[in-house]
């Protein structure tokens, strides 16, 4: 078996990644492996790098490559699609470009000038300077095409929109990775590295025969290595199906619409570097909304899409007449996917500027659901946006959902799949107008009325004291609840400055706390001895971890500082203290002292807020004292 080097592969070939292929998916660990293979390779030895599978491009297809006709028909270069191995080839080209960018213009690598290297691997220019062709890249319909040429390979373009996707971000990260690795390497070592990359990395190169079905080959080959995501598999399948509609005038239009839809989808899934949206999660939730959900195949959405719905059989020879797929049916599904990704992005990034979603109350409600978790409501929310419901109605729906999640899961400790089948079904009904949004809201409220159980909340907190001995402090809903209370205090006090950032508040940092025990677990300070030494050890435990003694901090605080006396906690004399912290801290700072009575009073206030905020009833005062685990204070001087 004869193996080929990168130099051999790029000999008089124009290589393109076809539109059905995924974008660049390699991340840091794959880049590190590639780099280590290169660095560790002995200069006198070869390294087997993998398989490259190429498909010859027909004249009909390459005639669409207007800027490349001169090099193909004129200079005799052979055009190929890369069916397998594009990740390795893309990585190699990004590394070559990174080397070129650090190379002095008058320097040579292995007796090759800057222009010779660029002309062979990157951008081939005619001697008259009028024509040029990239030797490696994506087909024009691929959303990564222009990004690779401009942002990675440095070609200026007036039309470059710089649209970011998950894949283009990976390209950027790869280039940053290699530029960082190369910056401290001497020129002679760069020369050795370039030689190993272009001559010693060996590939097994196959050219696919025209009789072989390239789409089936692509799916089979990508069972190796990093698997295709469901969204990538689906795109490949839909493009394949578009080729099976023999003699149908709309099949080329359908293929373009699929590519345009996936451009939009990948743009919005990768739009925010802070919140990376999972493409499989998007596809699954759209499936639940668009097709009739059944628990039987709740986790088999991709099997349904590829094997039951969008199968080649359903185009060419379906088992049943109702299974027959049409161009219009596929087009409607693709259009729905494309329309859905924008609201999907907004659902997970409500603070992003978006003129289509400019209702402030809507943003606040969506932010709350992001904090508490969407649970089974993602498809239903998506359906409300996609079907064009007005903000007033959607806001009522979101309020009902947030109340449902807090009351049934955070308080009543219901099973996580409670109600999911019914709500999944409502998503499709809402999308296609079979049920009104007011009906759906009413049904959600009925579930709360039926299954909300404050006794279950009491039992849950009691278990926390028995098992971990930390009561409310490790209640799963504590941070969400205290954050919501902070927002209410901020609004009630007409304060406009946000003093607690949810992301920082919710993250864990070793040795630092975002929730303070006002009365500390260690009572070594005389201040705390005077007020709490008369209680038993168990009673002090209940007081320490009771709801009213837990305070959200505007900034993470070293846990070692929690033992200070109350006056120092309010103001340590160095401009740090409750007095200039969160709104909740400000409220506590108004107290002249902190005793068991204060813990009980603040705990009762917080429970009253809980009842008002979520429109629930916890119970009478006796029940609330039991819930706070402070009923012993009735018979104790506080």
User: In percent, how much of the chain has pLDDT > 70?
Assistant: 92
Residues 6+ apart with CB under 8 A from 398: 362, 365, 366, 368, 369, 381
> Residue 511 above 80 pLDDT?
no
Rg (CA), the chain: 31
Q: For 125-177, what is each residue's pLDDT tens digit?
A: 998 778 999 999 998 767 688 889 999 998 866 555 566 777 888 999 999 99
Alpha-carbon distance of 277 to 348, in angstroms, equals 8
pLDDT for position 210: 60
Q: What is the pLDDT of residue 517?
A: 94
Alpha helices in 513-582 (DSSP H): 526-532, 537-544, 566-570
The domains of the chain are located at 4-227, 229-349, 351-452, 455-635
**What is the model's pLDDT at position 531?**
93
Asked if the model's pLDDT at residue 525 lies above 50, the reply is yes
Q: Tell me the C-alpha distance between 168 and 145, whole Å.
A: 9
Q: Which tokens is 198 given?
A: 């272009």
On the question of pLDDT at 379 being above 50, the answer is yes
**DSSP 8-state assignment for residue 519:** S
pLDDT of residue 214 exceeding 80, the answer is no
Q: Is it the case that residue 225 has pLDDT exceeding 60?
A: no
Mean pLDDT of 560-583: 84
pLDDT at 90: 96
Q: Indicate the range of 212-216, 290-294, 414-418 predicted with least confidence.
A: 212-216
Mean per-residue pLDDT over the chain, rounded: 89
Long-range contacts made by residues 170-174, C-beta under 8 angstroms, separation at least 24?
Answer: 170/23, 170/24, 170/25, 170/26, 170/27, 171/23, 171/24, 171/90, 171/94, 171/144, 171/147, 173/27, 173/28, 173/31, 174/24, 174/26, 174/31, 174/90, 174/91, 174/94
Confidence of residue 11 (pLDDT cuts 50, 70, 90): very high
Of 247-256, 278-287, 525-534, 601-610, minimum mean pLDDT range: 247-256
Contact 87, 167 (CB under 8 A): no
Cα dihedral 325→326→331→333 (10° resolution): -30
DSSP β-ladder status, 132-134 and 123-125: antiparallel
If you write DSSP's letter for every residue of 322-340 in order, what string do you get? Answer: GG---HHHHHHHHHHHHHH
Element spanning 517, H or E: strand 512-517
Cβ atoms 175, 98 nearer than 8 A:
yes
Q: Which two tokens stand for residue 7?
A: 């130099």
Most confident of 184-198, 445-459, 556-570: 445-459
pLDDT at residue 375, as a whole number: 95
Conformation bin of residue 337: beta by default, left when phi > 0, alpha when psi is -120 to 50: alpha
Q: What is the pLDDT of residues 73-131, one digit of tens each?
A: 999 999 999 988 899 999 999 999 999 999 887 888 888 988 999 999 999 999 877 89
Residue 593 · residue 584 · CB < 8 Å: no
Contacts of 21 (CB under 8 A, 6+ apart): 82, 86, 138, 142, 218, 236
State the DSSP code for 250.
T
Look at residue 217 and tell me whether its pLDDT is greater than 70: no
| pLDDT digit string, tens, across residues 344-369 | 999 999 988 777 888 999 999 999 99
> Residue holding tokens 């206030």?
605
Q: Which of 338, 16, 84, 43 is nearest to 191 (CA)?
A: 43
**pLDDT value of position 215:** 57
B/e letters for 102-133, b = 16+ CB within 10 Å, e = fewer, are ebeeeeebeebebeebbebbbbbeeeeeebeb
pLDDT tens per residue across span 43-58: 889 999 988 989 899 8
Residues 70, 102: Cα–Cα separation, whole Å: 30
For residues 242 and 492, what is the distance between their CA atoms, to the nearest angstrom? 58
How far is residue 380's CA from residue 580's CA, in Å, rounded to a whole number? 41
pLDDT tens-digit readout, 453-476: 999 999 999 999 987 789 999 999
User: For residue 18, is pLDDT > 70?
Assistant: yes
* pLDDT-wise least confident of 4-18, 151-165, 205-219, 574-588: 205-219
User: What pLDDT, on a 0 to 100 scale, did the predictor assign at position 289?
Assistant: 96
State yes or no: pLDDT of 224 exceeds 70. no
Instruction: Work out the angle between the directed axes of helices 621-628 and 454-467 (0-180°, nearest 10).
Output: 30
**Predicted confidence (pLDDT) at residue 223 exceeds the cutoff of 50:** no
Q: 211 pLDDT exceeds 60? A: no
For 131-145, the DSSP string reads -EEESEEE-TTSTTH
Per-residue buried b or exposed e for 416-446, using 16+ beta carbons within 10 Å of the residue's own CB? eebbbeebbbbbbbbbeeebebeebbeebee
Beta bridge partner(s), residue 124: 133
Confidence of residue 61 (pLDDT cuts 50, 70, 90): confident
pLDDT at 71: 94
């Amino acid at each position: 078996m004869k193996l080929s080097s990168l130099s051999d592969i790029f000999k008089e070939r124009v290589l393109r990644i076809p539109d059905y292929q995924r974008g660049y998916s390699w991340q840091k660990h794959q880049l590190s492996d590639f780099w280590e293979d290169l660095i560790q390779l002995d200069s006198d030895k070869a390294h087997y790098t993998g398989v490259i599978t190429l498909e010859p491009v027909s004249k009909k297809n390459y005639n669409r490559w207007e800027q490349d006709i001169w090099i193909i028909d004129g200079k005799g270069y052979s055009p190929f699609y890369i069916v397998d191995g594009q990740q390795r080839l893309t990585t190699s080209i990004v590394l070559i470009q990174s080397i070129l960018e650090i190379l002095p213009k008058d320097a040579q690598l292995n007796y090759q000038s800057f222009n010779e290297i660029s002309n062979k691997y990157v951008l081939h220019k005619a001697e008259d300077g009028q024509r040029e062709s990239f030797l490696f890249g994506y087909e024009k319909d691929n959303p990564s095409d222009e990004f690779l040429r401009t942002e990675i390979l440095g070609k200026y373009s007036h039309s470059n929109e710089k649209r970011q996707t998950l894949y283009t971000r990976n390209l950027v990260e790869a280039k940053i990775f290699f530029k960082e690795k190369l910056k401290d390497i001497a020129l002679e070592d760069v020369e050795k590295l370039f030689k190993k990359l272009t001559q010693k990395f060996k590939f097994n190169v196959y050219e696919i025969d025209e009789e072989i079905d390239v789409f089936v080959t692509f799916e089979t080959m990508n069972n190796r290595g990093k698997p295709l995501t469901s969204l990538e598999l689906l795109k490949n399948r839909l493009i394949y199906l578009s080729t099976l509609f023999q003699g149908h005038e709309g099949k080329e239009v359908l293929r373009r619409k699929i590519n345009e839809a996936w451009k939009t989808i990948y743009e919005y899934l990768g739009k925010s570097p802070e919140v990376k949206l999972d493409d499989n999660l998007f596809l699954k939730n759209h499936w639940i909304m668009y097709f009739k959900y059944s628990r039987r195949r709740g986790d088999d959405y991709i099997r349904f899409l590829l094997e039951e719905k969008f199968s080649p059989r359903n185009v060419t020879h379906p088992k049943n007449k109702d299974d027959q797929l049409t161009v219009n049916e596929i087009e409607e599904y693709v259009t729905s996917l494309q329309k859905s990704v924008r609201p999907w992005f907004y659902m997970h990034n409500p603070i992003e500027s978006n003129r289509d979603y400019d209702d402030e109350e809507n943003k606040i409600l969506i932010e709350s659901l992001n904090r508490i978790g969407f649970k089974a409501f993602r498809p239903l929310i998506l359906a409300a946006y996609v079907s064009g419901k007005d903000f007033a109605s959607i806001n009522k729906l979101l309020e009902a959902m947030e109340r449902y999640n807090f009351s049934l899961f955070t308080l009543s400790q219901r099973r996580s799949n409670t109600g999911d089948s019914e709500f999944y079904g409502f998503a499709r009904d809402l999308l296609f107008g079979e049920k009104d949004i007011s009906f759906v809201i009413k049904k959600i409220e009925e579930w709360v009325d039926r299954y909300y159980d404050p006794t279950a909340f009491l039992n849950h907190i009691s278990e926390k004291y028995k098992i971990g001995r930390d009561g409310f402090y490790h209640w799963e809903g504590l941070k969400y609840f205290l954050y919501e209370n902070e927002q209410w205090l901020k609004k009630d006090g007409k304060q406009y400055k946000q003093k607690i950032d949810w992301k920082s508040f919710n993250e864990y940092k070793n040795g630092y706390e975002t929730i303070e025990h006002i009365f500390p677990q260690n009572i070594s300070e005389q201040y705390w001895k005077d007020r709490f030494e008369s209680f038993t050890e168990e009673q002090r435990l209940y007081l320490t971890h009771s709801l009213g003694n837990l305070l959200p901090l505007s900034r993470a605080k070293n846990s070692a500082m929690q033992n200070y006396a109350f006056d120092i906690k309010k103001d340590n004399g160095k401009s740090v203290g409750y007095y200039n912290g969160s709104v909740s801290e400000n409220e506590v700072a108004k107290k002249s002292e902190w005793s068991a009575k204060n813990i009980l009073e603040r705990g009762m206030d917080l429970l009253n807020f809980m009842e008002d905020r979520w429109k629930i009833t916890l119970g009478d005062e006796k029940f609330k004292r039991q819930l706070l685990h402070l009923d012993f204070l009735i018979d104790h001087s506080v």
